[in-house]
Structure 1
Amino acid sequence: MRHIFLTTWLAVLCLTQTFAQTVLTGTVTEVGTNSPIPGVNITVKGTNIGTATNRDGKYQLAVPGPFPLTLVASFVGYARQEIVVNNGTSVLNFSLAESAIVADEVVVSASRVEESITKAAVTVERLGARQFANSPAANPFDALQNLKGVDLLTQSLTFKSVNLRGFGANNNNRFVQLTDGMDNRSPGLGFGFGNVAGISDLDIESIELIPGASSALYGPDALQGLMLTTSKNPFTYQGLSAQVKVGANNVGKANFGPKGYYDVAIRYAKQFGTRFAFKVNFQRLDGTDFIADDYNDRSTSARTNFWAVDPNRGNVATGVGYVPNSNRNANFEYDGVNIYGDDINAGGAFRFPANFTNAALQNRLVTRTGYTELDVLGNNGKVFNNRANVSLHYKLGRNVEASLGWYYGNGNLIRTAGFREYFPNYIRHQFRAEIKGENFFVRAYTTRQNAEGWNIGQTAAAINNAWKPLGTATTGWAGDFAAAFAANGGQLEAARQAANQGRFMPGSSQFNDIRDQLANTYNNVRIASLGRNGVRFKDNSTMNHFEGMYNFTKHIKIAELIVGGSFRRFLLATGGTALPLNADGSEYTINEYGAYAQLSKEFRLGSIGLTRQPITFKPTVAVRYDKNQYFQGGFTPRASGVLSVGPHNFRGSWQSAFRNPSPGQLFAVPPTGQGGEVGGSSVAADRAGLNTNRAFLGADVNDYVAGRITADQLTARAYDPSRFTTEKINTWEVGYKTLINNKLFIDGFYFHSRYTDFIAAQSFFQLLTPGGGPDAFRTPSNYRTLQVNFNNFNEIFVNGWGFGAEYVLGRGFALSGNYARQVGSITLRDAQGNVRNNRAGEPIVNRRMSDPDVAQLGRNFFISPENRYNISLANPRINGGNLGFNITYRWTDKMWVEQGTTAGDIWLPSWTSLDAQVSYRLPVAKSVVKFGGANILNKYYSQGYGLAQIGGLYYVALTFDELFR
């Protein structure tokens, strides 16, 4: 891959050609005051040529022919201005008017070509310098949570997952994040690491977000949306920028908080002559993570009699019937949400036989005493993050620029999948080479990561077993508990204390030594002293990507035509710890390729009104073909149209998309005898023994144990690993966007989506000893819980609508808000295509996935609030001065959560957050002081079951922008 980049860069130098230059100069001032405006971006429209004004509002820009060309001036808080430049012009002045609403932004993500955001054929959200400066969020990535319909699931201070339009996930592999065109996802783990390995905050020019299916132009996996983050070009944004931010979180945490943090960033960009420029960036964050400290008794469908049932309706579920009891001294089955090693379904519990000598313990499930997350980690929640970037840019001609860049990310984090997993030192490098012109680009990049982590829950259970095995009714911990229970007259607390005598205490040398052995030994390597394997896994995989696009519009004249294609190759490198190896011991590889074309044409239909505003219609058709070596290829078409009647823009689209399973969903196999994820491929099924030692859906096993189905019925429902394919979606959407009298901006949409071959990991139980009968499932220690990926046969629908509005109140004040709603429904079908019935014999047709009748028959993982809204009041420059503010109120509805092996099933409560910031500009020092906070009322909430509790995050930031230009 390095040879490819070297060759590309040499080609760049060889292609260099001379071109004539015309030097334009001028001044940019403010309408009304005639005051000079520093930092205004001056660009040649449709090219990468640009600069910015100095502190006196002056600029100088060398531009090539041919003429005429259009010069554009744009700046935060002002309406952009365009002026046509004819040959011979040398002085060009701009006068910008303040604007509380900027509705003429240009986006590229919707159609891969520049277009006005108001005329995009699909819903597009954009965050730029104006939004970043005004947002109370601590960083640009966090500002996404103010966009309509966006759910950020916070797993770590630096790791948040973007979710849109249902099926929320802590590791969303149905949403694609691109940074300067590069896929942000982990090559092997298959999900985006959010901002852990993103670009420096100071280097972000804009973030564009498309909710909904986007495969027609961007390939597989963009089922629920796409996010495109673009960094600042060093030709346009020059000089030195720096930011220092200090703050605190974990406020009000008993015996723990508050905890401080700091975040520093620096950026420098410089142009030499007319052709060469470079930039360097670095950012460092140090602090204490939000803590996962929910110690309430876990609500999970793995519990016997979890559902409340109505015997008059055939035992149909009417809701959650299990009543959590968080007093571990009064609850035999206490299983804390963020306590590990006490899990009822992951090796932390023992069920006494039905004929046990002590009648009080017959068929009784008893959990061990576990450890908290902080106990196991032993780092007091410390978190760090480093991000760096260096790029070189060279202009080959009027509209052609070559660039070569290195992007680096490093940090520690916790992610939540079926279990909580800790990555103590994640490292990622991306190298990118690109040649980009006005009507084409050619890009190559590689992603190389070092991702090694370990399972917190498995580690806690292993520490317990290293001290004393779970045992049997008469041996080990369970035997000691039974003896102590009898000796103490059936006192639960006394029995636990007696059975725990000598237990390894957190922080002790015995505890730390065993934890370190487990965490530093791979899960396929035996630890002789412990008689078991370690828990560490790694994903040091590589992904190489090549793509190009050409716009033929200038050649065919009558329409806009773009074509493109891509090829990528995954080189998996997990050493057999996260994914299995081939029979010869080699790692798996995955090849994918695709090609697309898009055709569009704008038609002038007439005009309207006294000002004769135009009426136009622009239809667009796109289609893409993609092929993964493990699946049949497929087409993903898109058809859309935009009708513009003066300022009113009506849009409609029909889109399709598909998703290739991630490498883990293809090949994953847990260590022998342990629970975990199993891929849907035949290779994974063989390795997990699913062809010879059948597994059964957890809901079916619970039905059998409860006597609702017979042994023969259970046997007939065994998992069939023979069918696995790509996941698909079809979506139609309509929308409307307008700016009325430059005071009211409105954007609304409605969509309907239908999923087929939906891939979801469901909990299946597999006996540890093959050949055991169904009765063996009555004892949890006899089986392991597997999260098996497979295509279900259900029909899944998601319907939703939303709107956003911004209104100028006058004198710079603006009131804005947005609301979004989405509802997931399902028709359940069995493997033969027959509609499944609930336990009363009623068909499950087009029912909410949160309906207990549906949820008790298996998890569907919609995990999304049906309603959410934001309201903001802001003024970036009160009375035209240097003082600004923003206050935002966010509300998110309750949601039904189904999550992982050791998480659970529960209605997560609704939550609110009040965010605010006050800023003051120091023009002489080219700096801004900003005091802000998210959740300033410090009302702790969780965005997912088992995730960290999010409280207030308070900060003060000092930003120096583009010094020494």
Structure 2
Amino acid sequence: MRQLFLLLAFMPLAIPLARAQINLAGIVTDDKEQPLAGVTIIIRGTNIGTTTQDDGQFILQASGDLPLTISVSFIGYQRKDILVRGSNFRNIIVRLPEEAILTDEIVIAASRVPEDIQKASVTVEKLGIEQFQQSPAANPFDALQNVKGVDLLTQSLTFKSINLRGFGANNNNRFLQLTDGMDNRSPGLGFGFGNVAGISDLDIDNIELIPGASSALYGPDALQGLMLTSSKNPFTYQGLSVQLKVGANNFGKEDFGPKGFGDVAIRYAKEINSRFAFKVNFQRFSGTDFIADDYSDRQTRLRSNFFATDPNRGGIATGIGYLPNNNASTNFQYDGLNIYGDEISANGSSYTFPKDYANVLLQNKLVTRTGYTELELLGNNGKVFNNRANISLHYKLPGNIEASVGWYYGNGNFIRTAGFREYFPNYQRHQIKAELRGENFFLRAYTTQQQAEAWNIGQTAAAINNSWKSLGQWAAEFGQVYIDNKFIVGESRETADRGRYLPGTAQFNAVRDAFANTYNTDSVPGYRGARGMRFRDNSALWHYEGMYNLTKLLTVAEVIIGGSMRHYALNTGGTAVALKADGSEYTINEYGAYVQVSKELRISAVTVKPTVALRYDKNEYLNGGFTPRASAVVSIGQHNFRGSWQSAFRNPSPGQLFAVPVAGKAGEVGGLQSIAESAGLVSNPAYLDSDVNDFTAGRITESQLRSRAYSPTTFTTEKIKTWEVGYKTLIQDRLSIDAVYFHSKYTNFIAAQSFYQPANGQLTDFTTGAYRVLQINFNNTNEIFVNGWGVGAEYDLGRGFTLTGNYAHQIGTVTLRDAQGNVINDNAGDPIINRKMSNPEVAQKGRNFFNSPENRYNISLANPRLADRLGATLTFRWTDQTWFEQGTTAGDVWLPSWTSLDAQLSYKIPVWKSVVKLGGTNILNKYYTQGYGLARIGGLYYLSITFDELMR
């Protein structure tokens, strides 16, 4: 009922009186007076628009009084704003000169109202239809990898996570993705699914991206920025559009590949009359995923003596000292990166021989079992599919108001990497939205309903092994053969593995399916009480929001107000997050409201536009708070200087609030005190992994370790404060420059750190390996800073050629503090104050998960009119080496730097209204990984043909 009252409160302000209808008509040509087809015409300040016909003619119905302004834009040409008066409204003549560099884009995301991108007071990037067509990327979402400062982490071919300004994550819940204004995140899992359930490629009009704190206008979780993807309006973009794409990947792999893929997309939009229009979209992709097939010995701090240390300075880390041995026949502790069931962690895959074992060479020796590769466990040969669909109905009401209702559908399979690799065989999501939008307001209500079931790949592998033969029995056989056969590891493994379930056999598949299809809350029938490995998240959310622009009423300043309400209904059955004490599911309610005031001031040749925004938000489980933002842009001719101070916050995801592991197993634990109690962390405390290592090495005493036990306290929102300055200009209509510098400070940072919980509640359990590893979410007391800068430039070389490049640099530093707020010393006794998180002496004290390269750059040479109908783009991308800390089982490693050369050729066939495109990314096929344990990315090559606006 409260949600309905909020919507009704806006209605009196939202419905203006009906106005007279005016039919505008005209023609658009190039500067040689040749007609241009497909040019977009929009009435400024509204969502009313159309496109030109083959002869350049257009007709557009407008509501209101003249004069008014129309915005005319087309790929490769300069955008023009035309004043329409009573004398020319039936004969509007527009000539568009060619333009190699786009500098006059209109953006909305920066301030929620349309404004010139050059004069936005915060950093904003925009990709439109032109950039999508010229990009070598296989789809619009992948084109983001060429944007300044953007890092994509590829989980699956159809699932990539966007990261900005540090703390890269496979499931980035610090970055907000909006699709036609709707939150793209999973309601229960708490992260955006990227393009798994996004808009069909043919229906994407543009993508706007804001790096940095954005909560002042967008609320929770826009901590590192936001991305707004907007679809095409059926009143503006009409007719039948079809895209057919074929291609291949996985080249150069022995016994695997190359593998083909196919992608078909269809869009049809029709204006039935001047008031009613609809659109229908469908896209289907099927192919073979990039494969996680790095089988090298895992680098992880769980190994003894992992860090190289200086014994003369208290054992301070100087780097990684572990030397991987990739040969399982000689390595007791072989733990293949993308092999599962062989982990050295305490999950039933490794065995430590007793200190009094019969053979002295095996006493206290740890040995890992033989595991299974990811491909063997999935059993699908890497096949991946994705379906996306959309139906929208749009109706124009009097007063330039447009009502719409839409259904958005996404379906597919993919792998995501959290603490473990998890396989989603058939993800489905429905979003239904109703919206009312006018010149100065919008009202929006939508719901997200999903069906998401997945199983833990690594734990399933361990369960398969242990269901065949217990770990103790396998180790006993290994040890006996090792002694009898002259201490040969390989023969010992082979003997202990005799009769093992072989991948692809009916027996193997039956055991795998028994565990993968049984929920982790239930026992697997026929396996002596063993728990299943499946979890589900069929959660839902309902969201209501509205905004009103008061500028026309107040006149003295531009003022907007808005608010939102959200309700989460979790539905995991206790498999992903805990249930309440009475067995019911948790729900979460959030609400927020904001106001923004701005005023443009002209002082001679200088224009100054200050803006102030303030928002308040509240989550029912957390304290509420304000997030202010102050910014200004100063324009002197073509030179635009911007500066801002921003704040943002992030509510913990449902998992970070309520997650609890299955009894006795490793896993994630939520930060609420009630959850810690249900995980047994009050009666049997856990200890930070670095503290346990200090204790077992004799650097701290038993009493000191007990004083550092995890103690659940108040769990609160994660916060950030950022200031940044920037400069944007266009010099002599040939050189465009955009530069930015930023400084951010995090407080109450939420990170899931590794804690060890003793199995029997005794500290001696740590010396015998009798403990479980928990990833506990909590607000640490560290002071975290991220500093960075970036610059992008585009230069018109003439004859249609443009040279584009961007460079981004960022460094994360930390002052480490314990639970009492005291600065932590490194092992040499020096305080860790404002040091880089990638430094080994800092990493030695625990993970910080910055997971971001310090440097990266892109360079592109493009010409959309290389010949009469031919266009081409060549792009080179480079990313610096990255210190990466990943999950429970993945590890700690320096990822090497990597490069990618991308290219595309496109050819226009006007008579068919089509474009043929031949392209590829990483065309030299130099495999690289963007995160430890993720799939290796090689060359992807494609050929597409796109027919646009047929049957218009």
TM range (shorter): over 0.9
Flag structure 1 segments of 5+ consecutive residues without an equivalent: 608-614
Work out the percentage of aligned pairs sharing the same amino acid. Answer: 68
Matched residue, 1:870: 858
The number of residue pairs the alignment matches comes to 944
Matched residue, 2:763: 774
Matched residue, 1:904: 891
The answer to whether the aligner puts 1:212 opposite 2:203 as a matched pair is no
Matched residue, 2:790: 802
After superposition, residues 445-460 of structure 1 pair within 5 angstroms as 445-460=446-461
CA distance in 2, matches of 1:489, 1:778: 29
CA distance in 1, matches of 2:817, 2:386: 46
Task: Identify which of 937, 942, 947 aligns with 1:950.
Answer: 937
8 Å CA contact 2:622–2:715 kept in 1: the answer is no
CA distance in 2, matches of 1:99, 1:824: 39
Shift, 1:674, TM fit: 1.1
CA distance in 2, matches of 1:889, 1:896: 23
Shift, 1:398, TM fit: 3.6
Shift, 1:106, TM fit: 0.3
8 Å CA contact 1:16–1:396 kept in 2: the answer is no
Matched residue, 1:515: 512
Matched residue, 1:940: 927
Shift, 1:488, TM fit: 1.1
8 Å CA contact 1:735–1:747 kept in 2: the answer is yes
CA distance in 2, matches of 1:24, 1:680: 59
SS in 2 for 1:223: coil
Matched residue, 1:662: 653
CA distance in 2, matches of 1:535, 1:17: 59
Matched residue, 1:964: 951
Q: Which amino acid aligns with 1:533?
A: R
The answer to whether the aligner puts 1:719 opposite 2:703 as a matched pair is no
Matched residue, 1:610: none
The answer to whether the aligner puts 1:859 opposite 2:847 as a matched pair is yes
After superposition, residues 554-703 of structure 1 pair within 5 angstroms as 554-607=552-605, 615-703=606-694
Q: Which amino acid aligns with 1:230?
A: S
Shift, 1:16, TM fit: 11
Matched residue, 1:551: 549
CA distance in 2, matches of 1:133, 1:735: 28
CA distance in 1, matches of 2:239, 2:307: 62
8 Å CA contact 2:688–2:753 kept in 1: the answer is yes
Matched residue, 1:750: 741
CA distance in 2, matches of 1:624, 1:774: 47
Matched residue, 2:169: 169
Q: Which amino acid aligns with 1:297?
A: D
CA distance in 2, matches of 1:398, 1:737: 37
Residues 229-256 of structure 1: CA deviation (Å, up to 9, x unaligned)? 0000000000110100000000111101
8 Å CA contact 2:837–2:843 kept in 1: the answer is yes
SS in 2 for 1:943: coil
8 Å CA contact 2:71–2:80 kept in 1: the answer is yes
TM-score (norm 1): 0.96
Matched residue, 2:79: 80
The farther-off stretch of 501-510 and 156-165 is: 501-510
Matched residue, 2:729: 738
Q: Which amino acid aligns with 2:229?
A: T
Shift, 1:15, TM fit: 7.8
Residues 281-309 of structure 1: CA deviation (Å, up to 9, x unaligned)? 00000000000001000000011111100
Matched residue, 2:485: 488
SS in 2 for 1:118: helix
8 Å CA contact 1:17–1:396 kept in 2: the answer is no
Task: Identify which of 910, 917, 938 aligns with 1:923.
Answer: 910
CA distance in 2, matches of 1:72, 1:398: 19
CA distance in 2, matches of 1:943, 1:18: 54
Shift, 1:712, TM fit: 2.6
CA distance in 1, matches of 2:513, 2:813: 45
Matched residue, 1:119: 119
Matched residue, 2:537: 539
Cα RMSD (Å): 1.5
CA distance in 2, matches of 1:63, 1:208: 27
Matched residue, 1:30: 30
Shift, 1:18, TM fit: 6.2
SS in 2 for 1:93: strand
The answer to whether the aligner puts 1:467 opposite 2:468 as a matched pair is yes
Matched residue, 1:611: none
Residues 68-111 of structure 1: CA deviation (Å, up to 9, x unaligned)? 01122111111011211112531112111110011000000000
8 Å CA contact 1:304–1:706 kept in 2: the answer is no
SS in 1 for 2:788: strand
Matched residue, 1:395: 396
The farther-off stretch of 953-962 and 519-528 is: 519-528
CA distance in 1, matches of 2:24, 2:221: 45
Q: Which amino acid aligns with 1:509?
A: A
Q: Which amino acid aligns with 1:593?
A: Y
Matched residue, 2:45: 46
CA distance in 1, matches of 2:96, 2:368: 69
8 Å CA contact 1:350–1:779 kept in 2: the answer is no
CA distance in 1, matches of 2:40, 2:916: 22
Residues 673-716 of structure 1: CA deviation (Å, up to 9, x unaligned)? 11111111112101211011111111222222333333332222
CA distance in 2, matches of 1:545, 1:241: 32
SS in 2 for 1:173: coil
CA distance in 2, matches of 1:100, 1:678: 53
SS in 2 for 1:869: strand
SS in 1 for 2:604: strand
8 Å CA contact 1:243–1:265 kept in 2: the answer is yes
TM-score (norm 2): 0.98
Residues 306-333 of structure 1: CA deviation (Å, up to 9, x unaligned)? 1100011111110011111111111101
Residues 198-223 of structure 1: CA deviation (Å, up to 9, x unaligned)? 00000000000000000000001111
Q: Which amino acid aligns with 1:162?
A: I
8 Å CA contact 2:18–2:399 kept in 1: the answer is no
8 Å CA contact 1:435–1:441 kept in 2: the answer is yes
Q: Which amino acid aligns with 1:494?
A: E
Matched residue, 1:442: 443
CA distance in 1, matches of 2:640, 2:182: 31
Q: Which amino acid aligns with 2:767?
A: R
Shift, 1:160, TM fit: 0.1
SS in 1 for 2:189: coil
Shift, 1:779, TM fit: 3.1
Shift, 1:21, TM fit: 2.3
Q: Which amino acid aligns with 1:661?
A: P
CA distance in 2, matches of 1:275, 1:109: 27
CA distance in 2, matches of 1:839, 1:369: 36
The answer to whether the aligner puts 1:56 opposite 2:43 as a matched pair is no
Matched residue, 1:308: 308
CA distance in 2, matches of 1:16, 1:523: 55
Q: Which amino acid aligns with 1:87?
A: G
8 Å CA contact 1:734–1:749 kept in 2: the answer is yes
Matched residue, 2:832: 844
Q: Which amino acid aligns with 1:515?
A: R
The answer to whether the aligner puts 1:373 opposite 2:361 as a matched pair is no
The answer to whether the aligner puts 1:331 opposite 2:331 as a matched pair is yes
Task: Identify which of 733, 749, 774 aligns with 1:786.
Answer: 774
Matched residue, 1:913: 900
8 Å CA contact 1:47–1:398 kept in 2: the answer is no
Q: Which amino acid aligns with 2:638?
A: P
Q: Which amino acid aligns with 2:609?
A: K
CA distance in 1, matches of 2:717, 2:80: 47
SS in 1 for 2:719: strand
SS in 2 for 1:830: coil
Shift, 1:717, TM fit: 1.7
CA distance in 1, matches of 2:614, 2:17: 36
8 Å CA contact 1:763–1:901 kept in 2: the answer is yes
Matched residue, 1:91: 91
SS in 2 for 1:745: strand
Shift, 1:527, TM fit: 1.4
SS in 1 for 2:471: coil
Q: Which amino acid aligns with 1:44?
A: I
Q: Which amino acid aligns with 1:441?
A: F
Shift, 1:59, TM fit: 1.1
